């Protein structure tokens, strides 16, 4: 039997048959996979305490091939980070669950390394945030990067119709029909206007690393507006309902 060493983040952990756990994780090397941890709910189980959602682990797994499907079992686990602050408030837990739900629901095979890194940095930033403003900034950063990775969002530089470069102080209009940016002369139908400071915020955060984005300020109303827009974009593009969003404000 082959074994692999990899890092993982736990996306979901469910109790099965009262004493076991079905644990779904993402690894930069394997992507999203589920293992059954037998006896994980017993108090003396050596893996039990490490199998909570959002935990970052270094894992050694055994791999058994069943046809073309790989079946993984846990051999060794080391807890690297448990992001303890994520469970201190209901809103924060839901936000962390929302990030996991986005990765679980959408097929991002082939982007495993990027998705693992995105989730890791989003959970780390969420674990450090202090209040609505910084929490909204983490959600915006997660969504805009996720949408950019999947090809549905690009820096807002020029009008999609006339091709004119936007100047620094004009609003852009995100047209509902195709989600592209337009200038005020070209936009038609339903659209979401983004003020110059919001466009500049989005363009800036797409150029820097996730860990640096907490230094870029965004005001509370602008943050709320961008968050609501990106969530509506995600829902429309993926076509899914997100269970965690229904309880999140």
Closest approach, Cβ 151 to Zn ion, in A, equals: 22
162 sits near Zn ion (criterion: CB under 5 A):
yes
The residue range among 74-82, 116-124, 134-142, 161-169 that interacts with Zn ion, by the rule CB under 5 A, is 161-169
Q: Which of 113, 119, 79, 114 is nearest to 98 (CA)?
A: 119
Closest approach, Cβ 144 to Zn ion, in A, equals: 22
Q: How far is CA 20 from CA 14, 29, 33, 49, 206, in A?
A: 8, 25, 17, 13, 41
Q: Cβ(58)–Cβ(5) under 8 Å? A: yes
The residue range among 99-107, 134-142, 177-185, 189-197 that interacts with Zn ion, by the rule CB under 5 A, is 177-185
Closest approach, Cβ 179 to Zn ion, in A, equals: 16
51/159 with CB nearer Zn ion: 159
**Can you tell me which of 77, 137, 138, 159 binds Zn ion, judged by CB under 5 A?**
159
67/163 with CB nearer Zn ion: 163
Closest approach, Cβ 159 to Zn ion, in A, equals: 3
161 sits near Zn ion (criterion: CB under 5 A):
yes
List 107's β-bridge partners, or say none.
Answer: none
186 sits near Zn ion (criterion: CB under 5 A):
yes
| Rounded Cα distance, 90 and 168, in Å | 39
| Rounded Cα distance, 206 and 156, in Å | 10
158 sits near Zn ion (criterion: CB under 5 A):
no
Closest approach, Cβ 167 to Zn ion, in A, equals: 12
Burial 155-192 (b: 16+ CB within 10 A, else e): ebeebbeeeeebeeeeebbbbeeebbbbbeebbeeebb
22/186 with CB nearer Zn ion: 186
**Can you tell me which of 118, 183, 194, 245 binds Zn ion, judged by CB under 5 A?**
183
126 sits near Zn ion (criterion: CB under 5 A):
no
50 contact partners, CB below 8 Å, separation of at least 6: 57, 77, 79
Residues that bind Zn ion (CB under 5 A): 159, 161-162, 183, 186
């Amino acid at each position: 039997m082959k074994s692999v060493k990899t890092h993982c983040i736990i996306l979901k952990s469910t109790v099965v048959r009262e004493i076991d756990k079905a644990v779904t994780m993402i690894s930069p090397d394997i992507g999203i996979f589920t293992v059954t941890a037998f006896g994980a709910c017993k108090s003396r189980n050596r893996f039990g305490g490490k199998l909570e959602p959002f935990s970052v682990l270094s894992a050694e797994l055994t791999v058994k091939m069943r046809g073309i499907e790989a079946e993984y079992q846990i051999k060794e686990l080391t807890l690297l980070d448990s992001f303890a602050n994520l469970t201190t408030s209901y809103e924060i837990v839901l936000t962390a669950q929302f990030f996991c739900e986005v990765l679980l629901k959408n097929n991002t095979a082939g982007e495993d390394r990027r998705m693992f890194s995105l989730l890791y940095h989003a959970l780390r930033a969420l674990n450090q945030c202090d209040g609505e403003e910084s929490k909204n900034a983490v959600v915006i950063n997660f969504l805009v990067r996720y949408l950019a990775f999947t090809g549905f969002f690009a820096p807002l530089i020029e009008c999609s119709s006339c091709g004119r470069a936007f100047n620094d102080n004009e609003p852009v209009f995100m047209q509902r029909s195709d989600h592209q940016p337009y200038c005020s002369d070209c936009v038609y139908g339903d659209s979401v206007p983004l003020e110059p400071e919001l466009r500049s915020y989005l363009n800036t955060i797409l150029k820097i690393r996730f860990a640096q984005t907490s230094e870029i300020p965004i005001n509370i109303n602008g943050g709320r507006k961008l968050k609501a827009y990106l969530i509506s974009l995600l829902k429309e593009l993926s076509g899914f309902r997100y269970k965690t969003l229904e309880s999140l404000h």
